[in-house]
Structure 1
Amino acid sequence: MPTFWENIIVDGSEMQVYSSLPSGDGEFPAVVIAHPASGVSDFTQSIADKRAESGYVAVAMDLFHRVTPDMVSDGTPRNSYLDDSQIIQDVDATLSWMQSFPTIDSDRIGITGFCMGGRIAWLAAASMDAFKVVIPY
């Protein structure tokens, strides 16, 4: 099962995405994963890997790409710097990047998220027509 990190550009800023792909050929359904406050940690990567083992292309975007170390040096949580309009930009950029792959069935893309990411999944699904299913945790 191939996994890789990629940088995509969102509003002039690089955003890392972690991708996990199912084995084999063909068009696969896909899922966008919105991470919890811990970021794209081992937990989030393991969720992506489990989805790939089940036959889905899974992509977890790093929603904290605009947050610099100086912004959190006083102990302010990273998620306090998230803005809903920027989150939608991040999700849209991730979707566009995913839809450029011929191995992804663009008509079968869902979104999921955990804790903070569950709210983000709801927000994205309510704001964008591309998602066929939303599963918030």
Structure 2
Amino acid sequence: MSAISVNGRTYEINAAPDTPLLWVLRDELGLTGTKFGCGVAQCGVCTVHVDGIAVRSCQIPVGTVGQRVITTIEGIGETSAGARIQKAWLDLEVVQCGYCQPGQIMSAAALLTANPDPDDGAIDAAMSGNLCRCGTYVRIRQGIKHAARS
């Protein structure tokens, strides 16, 4: 048994060290906002923050997390950047089907934390690993700019 810190809480987990963080979050902790997409870290839908850095939880073994702080979509609204992104997403109706949006929001919040006033190039670079089947990329970029201004 080991402990991990997620969204400001410490959880005792009973997973093997090589279990992907995604499955610990979803299956052991019941935090199902983080979605499974491709399983090979290419789509971005499983994005979470580890010590404030956006990572693909489907490829991070839980045994490598240690005492680092994990933030999921359920907790991102408690951060300044996360709250601004979530509000912008609602204000501009960014979401279409919504499946990719937890990963989009997590990547966008990490971007705004690192770069409070990103230009189009910075936005495109930060968001390039997040796929959206509905093609809401223009609205996502507008949402990030809106959040940066707020």
When you count helix as a share of all residues, which structure comes out higher? 2
Greater RCO structure (CA 8 Å; 6+ sep): 1
What range is the shorter-chain TM-score in? 0.3 to 0.5
TM-score by length of 1: 0.33
Q: If you compute each CA radius of gyration, which structure gives the higher value, 1 or 2?
A: 2
TM-score computed with the length of structure 2 as normaliser: 0.31
